């Protein structure tokens, strides 16, 4: 499947940790390096959001270790995960730390890379397609377009992530599209704060649940109707929410956009 002139893929040495992103869901959205790593690893320490079909690509005898749960992770649990990575690497295992999306986008990848550095464990980082950009793209929502925006904000809706709550009014004043990760628990507060910050209730918005999975669905909305539409359609986790002009571009593509599956 990989063309002959493709660059050589690196060996996965015993005692190393590879910190990889699995993309938003469907295994076909894995990077070549991530797929290679999944096939080579002795131990795969994975998050809840990593799609089962991705885990099923592991090599014979590879051990699966489930780490993390959806919706906020206490720091003690993060320490436990760090310890597992370090202990297994020191035992000479080839340890794949596999995260949904990209490990460095709201994925605690930095915490783990820092812990590995402190412990003197060698590691490699393999980026992945982040849900907020890839999930939106699959739904026909560009991160940027020349007609609408020159910047895009990735923001965590969940308070516990990335050190607390964002300054939503300040983000509203930027006038650039906002992609919310972990949006559901604070959606009403965020929508209200963005409007208090000056965004019109008519600002286009879209909710994308379970992007790149068989359960994927997209709900088009507006900032003013976001909370009601989320409730009416029973939108749950995992979802991203796009708020801004890019969310309104999707409808122009629907006549020709072929379902990605």
Ligand X SMILES: C[S@@+](CC[C@H](N)C(=O)[O-])C[C@H]1O[C@@H](n2cnc3c(N)ncnc32)[C@H](O)[C@@H]1O
Which residues would be at the binding site for ligand X (CB under 6 A)?
24-25, 49, 99-102, 105-107, 130-131, 135, 181-182, 208, 210-213, 237-240
Q: Which tokens hold the place of 114?
A: 């820092």
CB of 14 to ligand X, least distance (A): 27
Question: Is 49 or 172 the residue whose CB approaches ligand X more closely?
Answer: 49
Question: Is 22 or 121 the residue whose CB approaches ligand X more closely?
Answer: 22
207-209-213 Cα angle (round to 5): 145
Question: Is 185 or 225 the residue whose CB approaches ligand X more closely?
Answer: 185
**In angstroms, what CA-CA distances link 118 with 18, 68, 78, 122, 123?**
16, 21, 15, 10, 12
Q: How many CB atoms lie within 10 A of CB 110?
A: 11
Separation between Cα atoms, residue 173 and residue 169, nearest integer Å = 6
Give every strand in the sheet of 239-243, ordered side by side: 153-156, 178-181, 239-243, 204-209, 217-222
Q: Count how many Cα atoms sit within 13 Å of the Cα of residue 146 in the half-sphere of its side chain.
A: 0
Three-state secondary-structure class, residue 135: helix
Question: Is 85 or 208 the residue whose CB approaches ligand X more closely?
Answer: 208
- So which residues are the catalytic ones? 47, 69, 182
CB of 163 to ligand X, least distance (A): 14
Question: Is 148 or 213 the residue whose CB approaches ligand X more closely?
Answer: 213
* 116: CB partners within 8 A, 6+ apart: 17, 19, 82, 85, 86, 89, 122, 123
CB of 239 to ligand X, least distance (A): 5
CB of 241 to ligand X, least distance (A): 8
CB of 92 to ligand X, least distance (A): 28
Residue nearest to ligand X as judged by C-beta position: 101
Q: Angle of helix 109-119 relative to helix 75-90, nearest 10 degrees?
A: 50
């Amino acid at each position: 499947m990989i063309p002959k002139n493709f660059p050589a893929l690196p060996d996965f040495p015993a005692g190393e940790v590879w910190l990889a992103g699995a993309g938003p869901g469907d295994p076909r959205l894995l990077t070549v390096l991530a797929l290679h790593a999944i096939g080579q690893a002795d131990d795969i320490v994975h998050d809840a959001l990593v799609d089962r079909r991705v885990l099923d690509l592991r090599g014979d005898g590879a051990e699966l270790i489930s780490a993390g749960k959806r919706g906020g992770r206490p720091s003690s649990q993060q320490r436990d995960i760090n310890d597992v990575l370090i202990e297994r690497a020191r035992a000479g295992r080839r340890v794949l730390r596999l995260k949904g999306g990209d490990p460095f986008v709201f994925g605690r990848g930095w915490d783990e890379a820092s812990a590995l550095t402190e412990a003197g464990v060698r590691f490699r980082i393999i980026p992945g397609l982040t849900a907020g950009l890839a999930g939106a793209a699959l739904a026909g929502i560009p991160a940027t377009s020349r007609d609408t925006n020159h910047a895009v904000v990735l923001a965590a809706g969940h308070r516990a992530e990335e050190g607390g709550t964002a300054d939503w009014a300040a983000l509203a004043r930027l006038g650039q599209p906002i992609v919310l990760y972990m949006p559901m628990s604070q959606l009403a507060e965020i929508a209200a704060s963005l409007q208090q910050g000056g965004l019109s209730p008519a600002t286009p918005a879209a909710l994308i649940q379970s992007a790149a999975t068989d359960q994927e669905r997209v709900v088009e909305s507006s900032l003013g109707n976001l909370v009601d539409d989320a409730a009416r359609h029973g939108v749950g986790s995992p979802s991203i929410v796009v708020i801004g002009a890019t969310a309104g571009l999707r409808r122009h593509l629907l006549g020709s956009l072929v379902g990605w599956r």
